[in-house]
A and B are shown apart, each in its own frame.
Chain A
Amino acid sequence: MTMSGDGPAGGSQVALVTGGYDHTIKLWQAHSGVCLRTMQHPDSQVNDLEINPSGQMVAACGYQHIRMYDLASANPDPIINFDGVTKNVSRVGFQENGQWMYTGGEDCTARIWDLRAGRQFQCQRIFQVPAPVNAVVLHPDQSQIMVGGQSGIIHIWDLKTDHNEQLIPEAEASIQDIAIDPEGKLMACVNNKGNCYVWSLGGSPPRPVPKKHIQAHSKYALRCNFSLDSTMLVTTSGDCSAKVWNTKDWTLKRELRHDTQRWVWDAAFTIDSRYLFTGSSDSYARLWDLEKGTLEREYCGHQKPITALAFRDQAV
């Protein structure tokens, strides 16, 4: 068994990336828990991380910047720096072919950045909302973006028609995160009261229909995410736990807690939906076996809270 030097470029495409308040981004060898590389994210915490569709780069967003890092090289510095946003960028994501990137931030906008090489025209777009944006997610059909934020409104922005629709799940609560399942049939959001709302998107015409309200956490909720097989939804919170819910009957499958675990900021499933990564304020990332409910790995190396993580698995 070799535990060093087997990075994502070295044959394996499995990559776990974490970032946080210590202004660094770490690339881990997920199965051993060894930190392979540390990248610099100067002047800002990391609000969100996303590995691009090719798996070659990771995008990190923070204050005024979205930076792209090469996962295959040893370069600790970003290779592309997206500039020109005046405030915190809270979320980043990619179109499935990597043609464009979407972001949302505290400047009350959602943006689309053109990443195409040799483009005929520029496809940048900007979508203005009345309040700072906390959550942006792309529908798997690649043509709608959900934008949620401080105002508690979810805007459904249709990229083709520029038409937008609004949802207000709860008054006087800010939307913290939005997730859509890979099949495009469920949409979930969590808010600062710890509540989780679920809509069904599968109807015809495809409009969101309220499906479920879960009092997921007693405190501030931070993230929600569906597993690839759509059978589970994870919600993370300031109550120091991550909770995994069965989407079939919305029962609690696992409550993931640890003595030293503090706020859980982010979570990601493996493609077989068996394991879950979490990142916490105690500066540890953890890997949980969801079948057994056991803690399998811990990833230690950050000096300060981990606020974002990205995981890319590989099918075998």
Chain B
Amino acid sequence: MATYDNKAWLLKNIRDAFIATDDTGLCEIVMAGEDFSKIFQTKAIEEKKRMKNRIINRPSTSKGRDSFAEDDERDIATLFDPYPDMEDSDEDPMYGSWFRHEEFGGHRQRSNTAQWLDKKELALKKAAKIKVVKWEEPYPQLTEDQKAEAFKKVEVKRPQKQKSLLTEQLEKCPDLPHRQYLEYAKFDGTAQLGLPTKVFKIFMTTVPEKHQNYPVIVCVIASAKIKDLIGFTCYKYSIEHPDITLGSVHDYGLCIAEDDGEVDWAFPCLDNNEPCSKFGFTCLGLIDTKQKDKIIQVTTPIPDIDMGHSVFCFPKAPDSGQSNINSTKQHTGGSDTSEIMKAMYSVTEGKGLGFQSGPPLTDAPQDKLYRVQLLHKVRASTPVQLCITLDQIEVVPLVTQKHAFWSRPKYFLHSMNSVAWCQILEAKSNKTSFRIVYSPSHDTAFNDSYTAGNSSAFQATAIYKKHDFECDHDTARRIVDKVNTILDLRNSPCRREYKNTKEKKLHTRRSFHTKQLKS
């Protein structure tokens, strides 16, 4: 548009064309003002009439008069014509603006336009609040009186010695807890002009529990690295809570957290050197990396298992037993793994064990392998590896007698949903035996043959089976504790039913007992 120097045409074009962007606001002034193109148009018509009359009335050669009569009025270009060449060009000024619309066609992105309009409106509203004072050229003459009034010479007094309020405030406030994080203050994203920013909800897990209720909401510039985000969070927190001491920025990490502040301890901390913009999470937990190391020795990603490949009580060939042990590490997880983990953490957190004092109730939610003896009714016990995860218990035989057909050990895989009970049976001088009770009928997740319909039929006559194991006292206690924690957390139908039946049995026994006493 800048290539046109015809004012009239420009005004008309601004009015008629669909202006998509104009940051200068000039178009708006034109639109709001008088329609000059119309004024010009009427003026042009008048001018043409006048010129025509002048030419007609002008004494001239005969040719002039005749030729003019043939010509159209339009041939006279006046000062007020929108653009003299316009009618000759392909573009008809009458439909100029219409053609422009046509260019966008029916596919014009309405939402974008609407968005732009919204933005524009907002900017206008903002601008409306700002009083604009234009420089006015000064009056050529100010009278002496006026000058004397406005630019009175005042007597300069020697300023008195004064005490500064700032000096007083500085004396009162010598200790600045946030000072150590000051360098991170520049990552503050609030009120940044033109810089992309990101807002995070940060849950402070390192501070005393009563202060953990609310996350710190921080807004940083998007290019800030995770370590800068940690620093800025500490900065902001120490300003809001000067009474709470935070440690060094280098000791902290940021973990993914849920909306309610539950930190996913299983995931590694976000990489300190990556920019925040790279991550999509908005809820994060600020954790002490040393504490995390204590809580989780092994960090393994939550694996997802392909259910179709899981086997229930699959008899393993003795030879392949060894390789199977390695593969067990991959065998965890159902769809609800993370749910359970969360619940688990909430238990450990809730009891304040995992973070503040003592070893956590379950020292690792990950796979844990135990070497124990599987007890058999009739024959000697066989060594097995017991793998307990949140979702399953796996019994992998450790083969010793390769050729003994009759003692070929079996491989078992029980879904946690099918495990009903776990308890210590007997403590001997150097060994403790414990029992895991399970119900094959509840192992639906691991066995496709049970459909929802007939599984209920099965539940009616639930059959419980058991494995008895033996190992040293400590390991036995640990395994039993671990399994029971997981069972309590899951509280599966299988476990509930088992408990119910057990309680009923107890009750009948008791009532029998009381009856006996009464009689």
Given contacts A77-B130, A296-B170, A301-B186, contact A272 B164 (CB under 8 A): yes
Is the CB of B173 closer than 8 A to any CB of chain A?
yes
Instruction: Give Cα A64 to B172, complex, Å.
Output: 42
Residues from chain A with a CB closer than 8 A to the CB of B154 are 96, 140-143
Dominant secondary structure of chain A at its interface with chain B: loop
Q: Pick the interface stretch among A117-125, A171-179, A210-218, A234-242.
A: A117-125
- A316 partner, pick from B130, B137, B165, beta carbons under 8 A: B165
Q: Is the beta-carbon distance between A124 and B136 smaller than 8 angstroms? A: yes
- A140 partner, pick from B147, B156, B240, beta carbons under 8 A: B156
Is the CB of B150 closer than 8 A to any CB of chain A?
yes
Instruction: Give Cα A22 to B195, complex, Å.
Output: 10
Is the CB of A261 closer than 8 A to any CB of chain B?
no
Chain B residue nearest to A13 in the complex (CB): B165
Report the count of interface residues on B (CB-CB < 8 A). Answer: 55
Residues from chain B with a CB closer than 8 A to the CB of A296 are 170
Is the CB of A314 closer than 8 A to any CB of chain B?
yes
Chain A residue nearest to B194 in the complex (CB): A23
Task: Report the minimum CB–CB distance from A304 to chain B (whole Å).
Answer: 10
Given contacts A1-B242, A80-B133, A121-B146, contact A143 B153 (CB under 8 A): yes
Q: Is the beta-carbon distance between A272 and B167 smaller than 8 angstroms? A: yes
Instruction: Give Cα A183 to B191, complex, Å.
Output: 40
Q: Is the beta-carbon distance between A1 and B172 smaller than 8 angstroms? A: yes
Instruction: Give Cα A78 to B133, complex, Å.
Output: 12
Task: Report the minimum CB–CB distance from A136 to chain B (whole Å).
Answer: 15
Given contacts A79-B129, A123-B150, contact A300 B185 (CB under 8 A): yes
Given contacts A80-B131, A141-B156, A229-B161, contact A122 B176 (CB under 8 A): no
Instruction: Give Cα A131 to B168, complex, Å.
Output: 44
Interface residues of A in 107-166 (CB under 8 A from B): 111, 113-114, 121-126, 140-143, 159-160
Q: Is the beta-carbon distance between A270 and B136 smaller than 8 angstroms? A: no
Task: Report the minimum CB–CB distance from A257 to chain B (whole Å).
Answer: 19
Given contacts A1-B173, A80-B133, A272-B167, contact A123 B146 (CB under 8 A): yes
Q: Is the beta-carbon distance between B173 and A160 smaller than 8 angstroms? A: no
Q: Is the beta-carbon distance between A35 and B126 smaller than 8 angstroms? A: no
Interface residues in chain A, defined as those with a beta carbon under 8 Å from any beta carbon in chain B: 1, 3-4, 12-14, 22-24, 30-35, 37-42, 75-85, 96, 99-100, 111, 113-114, 121-126, 140-143, 159-160, 182-184, 228-229, 270-272, 274-275, 283, 296-298, 300-303, 313-316
- A84 partner, pick from B134, B185, B193, beta carbons under 8 A: B134
Q: Is the beta-carbon distance between B167 and A270 smaller than 8 angstroms? A: yes
Residues from chain A with a CB closer than 8 A to the CB of B242 are 1, 3
A-contact bits for B262-301, CB 8 A (1 contact / 0 none): 0000000000000000000000000000000000000000
Residues from chain B with a CB closer than 8 A to the CB of A183 are 156, 158-159
Q: Is the beta-carbon distance between B173 and A32 smaller than 8 angstroms? A: yes
Is the CB of B142 closer than 8 A to any CB of chain A?
yes
With A34-B178, A274-B164 already in contact, 12 other A-B pairs whose C-beta atoms are closer than 8 Å: A14-B165, A24-B193, A34-B239, A35-B185, A82-B135, A100-B150, A124-B136, A126-B137, A141-B153, A142-B154, A270-B167, A314-B166
Residues from chain A with a CB closer than 8 A to the CB of B185 are 35, 300-301
